Amino acid sequence: GDVVLLRRYQGRRKPENLATMAAMEGFKRLFGSQNSTLRLLRNYGLAAISGLGAIKNKLIKQAMGL
């Protein structure tokens, strides 16, 4: 519960938290779009990342703060 320690942790995590928030906003817009071209590109992109285990694992770890 040390305030200095908590502020240091918050400062270190802030860039990753902002990046994750931006990514989530992007996903919201991607999945909320009815544009067929955008939907096709989204699905292709997700399938491509899913097939690339190293990149997928890096994204997962970053989202977890590891």
Per-residue pLDDT in tens (0 to 9) along the chain, 66 residues: 799 999 999 999 899 889 889 988 998 998 999 999 999 999 998 899 888 888 888 888 877 877
- Please tell me the distance from the alpha carbon of residue 42 to that of residue 37, in angstroms, as a whole number: 9
- With contact defined as beta carbons under 8 Å apart, do 39 and 33 qualify? yes
Helix (H, G, I), strand (E, B) or coil at 36: helix
Q: What pLDDT is stored for residue 33 in this prediction?
A: 92
In this prediction, residue 36 carries a pLDDT of 94
Q: What integer pLDDT is reported at residue 41 of this predicted model?
A: 93
The C-alpha angle with vertex 21 and arms to 20 and 26, in degrees rounded to 5, equals: 95
